[in-house]
Amino acid sequence: MRFGAIISVILLFSCVKVTEHYRLKEGSNRSPVVLIPGDGGSQVEARLNKTSAVHYICEKTSSGFFNIWLNLELLVPVVIDCWIDNMKLIYDNVTRRTSNQDGVEIRIPGWGDPFVVEYLDPSKASPGSYFKDIGNMLVTELGYIRNVSLRGAPYDFRKGPSESEEFFVKLKSLIEETYTMNNNEPVTLIAHSMGGPMSLIFLQRQTQKWKDKYISSLISLAAVWGGSVKALKVFAIGDDLGTYVLRQSILKDEQITSPSLGWLLPSKLFWKENEVLVQTEQKNYTLLDLQQFFTDINVPNGWEFRKDNEQFQLNFAAPGTEIHCLHGVEIDTVERLYYKPGTSIDGSPQLIPGDGDGTVNLRSLEGCLHWQGKQKQKIYHKGFPGIDHMNILKNTSILDYIKNVLTRAII
């Protein structure tokens, strides 16, 4: 999830060398891999042709497309105002669609290329590494070839599944193409965070015959199967992306325009309707009070995003593929927002913790267990104490597990 800690600390640049293999190890016949990112897990490019700007230092035009996410040079005080104005979406509650700001053209580069999900910053700056460690392990240790047996499926993570039809169509073609390029070996999907439920929606739409032919397994890492209370926190006060130099209240202006954030709100399938999610001196808010909560914090579109995408949460049919459901546990994760007496709903709440991976609540991470007995394909589940939402992408125990799955030495 983008509101997890994507940028590690202060904006430091350190380049990482990547070693390429140019042929698979002889006789490996291993399942090719498609990496499916989560919220904030794809590079984003923008082209500007604006008539006005929010600040005199902001560029109004650009000669071509440039990297806007993750571009560390744009995520600094003052300049961040330009970035927010270029990244935030405009929502039309009649068409139920979003659009970019006037004069801003956004595109997601590198379809099929794992590089754009291995590194969010094209310069390979260390804070922008994402699937990098998994990609390097597959290439250097198992002989995978980038753009042949290792692919990437980036998408516009700002938008919810209600606006992602093109992605699901393209993903099917990418999997079929990758299957053909690799001697008709079924494909393994490795999905992180929001990429987990995106993969689920995709698999639910395919016939069992198609899945039996083209899919080997789904490896989900910290999947947000049933939403997260942290999404409520972001709507209320924003998130600083794990940096010490950016204020969450400033970043909130962009974050609350993303329909995907409304999709990631706690699901009715995993939270009781009368469970208090936000506690104030005057009123407690449950799932039944979300519309009023968004009205009270002056983010009415949050409720619209929820309405547009909740159907995708409530359809929780089993994926019909072998699944390896991996996630962290035993890390404080916000379970409830508590506004102390005398604190208004416009203020900063105390974050009451529960179990999870620091970003996603345990009940959501364990959502894959609901499919036990509901599909014939095996479901493997494992919680890893102390591995947080982002470190799961580079933890050696996780890398070893993935390696064992792909060499069919399943744990």
Selecting among 164, 193, 267, 364, the annotated active-site residue is 193
Euclidean distance between CA atoms 319 and 196, whole angstroms: 11
Domain that holds residue 131: 33-41+111-406
Selecting among 192, 324, 327, 389, the annotated active-site residue is 389
Q: Tell me what the mean pLDDT of segment 200-226 comes to.
A: 98
With respect to residue 268, please indicate whether it lies within any of the assigned structural domains: yes
CATH of residue 167: 3.40.50.1820
Same domain, 53 and 121: no
Is there a catalytic annotation at residue 133?
no
Euclidean distance between CA atoms 116 and 286, whole angstroms: 38
**Structural domain ending residue among the three candidates 64, 87, 107:** 107
Least confident range of 22-36, 57-71, 123-137 = 22-36
Residue 338 pLDDT > 50, yes or no? yes
Is there a catalytic annotation at residue 296?
no
**Structural domain ending residue among the three candidates 107, 125, 151:** 107
Same domain, 103 and 116: no
**Structural domain ending residue among the three candidates 107, 129, 157:** 107
Same domain, 64 and 147: no
Selecting among 228, 357, 364, 388, the annotated active-site residue is 357
Residue 298 pLDDT > 80, yes or no? yes
Residue 241 confidence (pLDDT): 67
Q: Tell me what the mean pLDDT of segment 340-365 comes to.
A: 96
Same domain, 95 and 217: no
Residue in 316, 224, 334, 215 with CA at minimum distance from that of residue 279 = 334
Least confident range of 51-55, 164-168, 363-367 = 51-55
Asked whether the CA dihedral 382, 117, 34, 171 is positive or negative, the reply is: positive
Same domain, 56 and 125: no
Please state the domain count of the chain.
2
With respect to residue 27, please indicate whether it lies within any of the assigned structural domains: no
Residue 7 pLDDT > 80, yes or no? no
Spatial contact of 231 and 361, defined as CB atoms under 8 Å apart: no
Dump the DSSP string for 196-231: HHHHHHHHHTS-HHHHHHHEEEEEEES--TT--HHH
User: Residue 12: pLDDT band by 50, 70, 90 thresholds?
Assistant: very low
Q: What is the 8-class DSSP label of residue 101?
A: P
Same domain, 207 and 82: no
* 357-to-195, 239, 269, 310 alpha-carbon distances in Å: 16, 16, 20, 23
The residues pairing with 327 across neighbouring beta strands, listed in sequence order, are: 383
Strand arrangement, sheet containing 278-279:
284-285, 278-279, 333-338, 350-354
Is there a catalytic annotation at residue 193?
yes
